[in-house]
A and B are shown apart, each in its own frame.
Chain A
Amino acid sequence: MAENFPQIFDTRSFRINIDEAFNWIVANYGEPLEILFLPVLKMLIVMEKFLQWLPWYVVLIALSGLTYLACRSWKATLGTAVMMFLIGVIGIWDPAMSTIALMLTSTLLAVLVGVPVGVIMSRSNTMQSITLPVLDIMQTMPIFVYLIPFVMLFGPGKIPALLATIVFAIPPVIRLTNLGIRQVDAEVIEGVTSFGATPRQRLMTAQIPLAMPTIMAGINQTTMMALSMVVIASMIGAGGLGYQVLQGIQRLEVSRGLLAGLGIVFLAIIFDRIAQAYGRRMQQHLHMGS
Chain B
Amino acid sequence: MADKSIKITVENIFKIFGSNPDSVMDQVRAGASKSELLEKTGHVIGIRDVSLKIPAGETFVIMGLSGSGKSTLIRHFNRLIEPTAGKIIIDDVNVMNLGEAALREFRRNKISMVFQRFALLPHKTVLENVIYGLVIAGMKKAAAIVHGMEQIDLVGLNGFENHYPNQLSGGMQQRVGLARALATDAEILLMDEAFSALDPLIRNDMQDQLKELQARLHKTIVFITHDLDEALRIGDTIAILKDGELRQVGSGAEILLNPADDYVERFVRDVNRARIVTIGSIARPAAQLACSKVTAASCKKLLTTQEAIIVTEAGKPKNIISREFFARYGSAGLKSKKSETDDVACINQSATLEESFSMLANSDEMAVVIDEGSKPVGVITPKVVLKAMARC
Nearest B residue (CB) for A202: B136
- Checking B116, B119, B133 against A188 with a beta-carbon cut-off of 8 angstroms, the contacting residue is B119
Q: In the bound complex, do residue B105 and residue A209 qualify as a contact, i.e. CB atoms below 8 Å apart?
A: no
Q: In the bound complex, do residue A191 and residue B119 qualify as a contact, i.e. CB atoms below 8 Å apart?
A: yes
A197: shortest Cβ distance to chain B, in Å?
A: 5
Q: Write out the residue numbers on chain A whose beta carbons fall within 8 Å of the beta carbon of B174.
A: none
Q: Would you list which residues of chain A between 185 and 201 have a CB under 8 Å from chain B? A: 185, 187-188, 190-198, 201
Quick check: is B140 within 8 A (CB to CB) of the other chain?
no
Contact of A192 with B80 at beta-carbon distance under 8 Å, contacts A187-B115, A209-B123, A289-B167 already known: no
Interface core residue of B111, B133, B165 (most chain A CB under 10 Å): B133
Interface core residue of B80, B105, B122, B132 (most chain A CB under 10 Å): B122
Q: Write out the residue numbers on chain A whose beta carbons fall within 8 Å of the beta carbon of B335.
A: none
- Give CA–CA (A104, B11) in the complex, Å: 59
Quick check: is A58 within 8 A (CB to CB) of the other chain?
no
Quick check: is B104 within 8 A (CB to CB) of the other chain?
yes
B351: shortest Cβ distance to chain A, in Å?
A: 39
Q: Would you list which residues of chain A between 262 and 290 have a CB under 8 Å from chain B? A: 285-290
Quick check: is B112 within 8 A (CB to CB) of the other chain?
yes
Contact of A286 with B123 at beta-carbon distance under 8 Å, contacts A201-B136, A205-B136 already known: yes
Q: In the bound complex, do residue A188 and residue B121 qualify as a contact, i.e. CB atoms below 8 Å apart?
A: yes
A125: shortest Cβ distance to chain B, in Å?
A: 14
Contact of A194 with B136 at beta-carbon distance under 8 Å, contacts A187-B117, A210-B122, A289-B165 already known: no
Q: Write out the residue numbers on chain A whose beta carbons fall within 8 Å of the beta carbon of B122.
A: 210, 286-287, 289
- Give CA–CA (A197, B104) in the complex, Å: 7
Q: In the bound complex, do residue A194 and residue B166 qualify as a contact, i.e. CB atoms below 8 Å apart?
A: no
Q: In the bound complex, do residue A196 and residue B133 qualify as a contact, i.e. CB atoms below 8 Å apart?
A: yes
Q: Mark B67-89, 1 if CB is under 8 A from A, else 0.
A: 00000000100101000000000
Q: Mark A192-231, 1 if CB is under 8 A from B, else 0.
A: 1111111001000110011000000000000000000000
Q: Mark B127-148, 1 if CB is under 8 A from A, else 0.
A: 0000011001100000000000
Quick check: is B273 within 8 A (CB to CB) of the other chain?
no
- Give CA–CA (A290, B300) in the complex, Å: 80
Q: Write out the residue numbers on chain B whose beta carbons fall within 8 Å of the beta carbon of A285.
A: 123, 164
Q: Mark A173-194, 1 if CB is under 8 A from B, else 0.
A: 0000000000001011011111
- Checking A187, A197, A205 against B119 with a beta-carbon cut-off of 8 angstroms, the contacting residue is A187
Quick check: is B7 within 8 A (CB to CB) of the other chain?
no
Number of interface residues of B (CB under 8 A): 32
Q: In the bound complex, do residue B107 and residue A194 qualify as a contact, i.e. CB atoms below 8 Å apart?
A: yes
Contact of A197 with B120 at beta-carbon distance under 8 Å, contacts A191-B113, A290-B164 already known: no
- Checking A187, A193, A205 against B116 with a beta-carbon cut-off of 8 angstroms, the contacting residue is A187
- Give CA–CA (A198, B167) in the complex, Å: 29
Interface core residue of B106, B113, B136 (most chain A CB under 10 Å): B136
What DSSP secondary structure best describes chain A's contact surface?
A: helix
Q: Write out the residue numbers on chain B whose beta carbons fall within 8 Å of the beta carbon of A210.
A: 121-123
- Give CA–CA (A78, B75) in the complex, Å: 55
Q: In the bound complex, do residue B78 and residue A194 qualify as a contact, i.e. CB atoms below 8 Å apart?
A: yes
Nearest B residue (CB) for A288: B166
- Give CA–CA (A201, B108) in the complex, Å: 13
Contact of A194 with B80 at beta-carbon distance under 8 Å, contacts A187-B117, A205-B132 already known: yes
Quick check: is B151 within 8 A (CB to CB) of the other chain?
no
Q: In the bound complex, do residue B113 and residue A194 qualify as a contact, i.e. CB atoms below 8 Å apart?
A: yes
- Give CA–CA (A288, B163) in the complex, Å: 11
Nearest B residue (CB) for A285: B123
Contact of A197 with B163 at beta-carbon distance under 8 Å, contacts A188-B119, A190-B80, A286-B122 already known: no
Quick check: is B319 within 8 A (CB to CB) of the other chain?
no
- Give CA–CA (A94, B117) in the complex, Å: 54
Q: Would you list which residues of chain B between 46 and 93 have a CB under 8 Å from chain A? A: 75, 78, 80
Contact of A185 with B165 at beta-carbon distance under 8 Å, contacts A190-B80, A192-B132, A194-B107 already known: no
Q: Mark B158-202, 1 if CB is under 8 A from A, else 0.
A: 000001111100000000000010001000001000000000000
Q: In the bound complex, do residue B166 and residue A195 qualify as a contact, i.e. CB atoms below 8 Å apart?
A: no
- Give CA–CA (A230, B104) in the complex, Å: 49
Q: Write out the residue numbers on chain B whose beta carbons fall within 8 Å of the beta carbon of A198.
A: 104, 136
Q: Write out the residue numbers on chain A whose beta carbons fall within 8 Å of the beta carbon of B133.
A: 195-196
What 4 A-B pairs come out closest when comparing CB atoms?
A191-B119, A196-B108, A289-B164, A196-B107
Chain B residues engaging chain A, CB cutoff 8 angstroms: 75, 78, 80, 104-109, 111-113, 115-117, 119-123, 132-133, 136-137, 163-167, 180, 184, 190
Given A187-B119, A196-B105, 15 additional A-B pairs, CB 8 A: A185-B119, A188-B121, A190-B115, A191-B113, A191-B120, A193-B80, A194-B107, A195-B107, A195-B180, A196-B104, A196-B137, A205-B121, A285-B164, A288-B167, A289-B163
Chain A residues engaging chain B, CB cutoff 8 angstroms: 185, 187-188, 190-198, 201, 205-206, 209-210, 285-290
Show 20 A/B contacts (Cβ-Cβ < 8 Å), sorted by A.
Answer: A187-B115, A190-B75, A190-B115, A191-B119, A191-B120, A192-B136, A193-B107, A194-B112, A195-B133, A195-B184, A196-B106, A196-B133, A198-B104, A205-B136, A285-B164, A287-B122, A288-B167, A289-B122, A289-B164, A289-B166
